[in-house]
């Protein structure tokens, strides 16, 4: 039995694969992975992330910028504090799975 995929379905699959590859590329950095795992536990401000993960400026700002540009995190400002949280259900699902297998040992 031969399975054929239409050109439209193939384009959708390719686009989805591209999106998954972008996500995996962003996740392939240890500091970004740690930031996402921490944010998987709930919203955090920059100072909380710095203290919890021992990631200092400018590395913290640099990695948070990559996460924002990749649309993996969103921000909320409250006074002078900027709070970060996970931005999509896909990111929540992936980070939850990784947390379960690698962080809860």
Which of the four CATH numbers 1.10.10.10, 3.40.50.2300, 2.30.40.10, 3.30.70.20 does domain 30-103 have? 1.10.10.10
Distances (CA, A) of 100 to 60, 69, 72: 24, 26, 19
Task: Report the pLDDT value the prediction gives residue 21, as an integer from 0 to 100.
Answer: 93
Q: Where are the domains of the chain?
A: 30-103
Q: What is the pLDDT of residues 74-87, one digit of tens each?
A: 999 999 999 999 99
Query: How confident is the model over 10-68, as pLDDT tens digits?
Result: 999 999 999 999 999 999 999 999 999 999 999 999 999 999 999 998 999 999 999 99
If you ran DSSP here, which 8-state letter would residue 91 be given? H
Q: Is the pLDDT of residue 5 over 60?
A: yes
Does position 104 have pLDDT exceeding 70, yes or no?
A: no
Decide if 36 contacts 52 (C-beta within 8 A): no
């Amino acid at each position: 039995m031969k399975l054929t995929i239409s050109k439209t379905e193939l384009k959708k699959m390719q686009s989805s694969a591209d999106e998954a590859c972008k996500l995996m590329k962003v996740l392939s950095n240890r500091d970004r992975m740690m930031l996402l795992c921490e944010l998987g536990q709930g919203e955090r401000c920059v100072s909380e992330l710095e203290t919890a993960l021992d990631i200092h400026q400018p590395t913290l700002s640099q990695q948070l910028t990559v996460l924002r540009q990749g649309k993996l995190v969103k921000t909320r400002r409250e006074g002078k504090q900027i709070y970060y949280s996970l931005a999509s259900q896909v990111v929540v699902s992936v980070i939850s799975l990784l947390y379960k297998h690698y962080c809860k040992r």
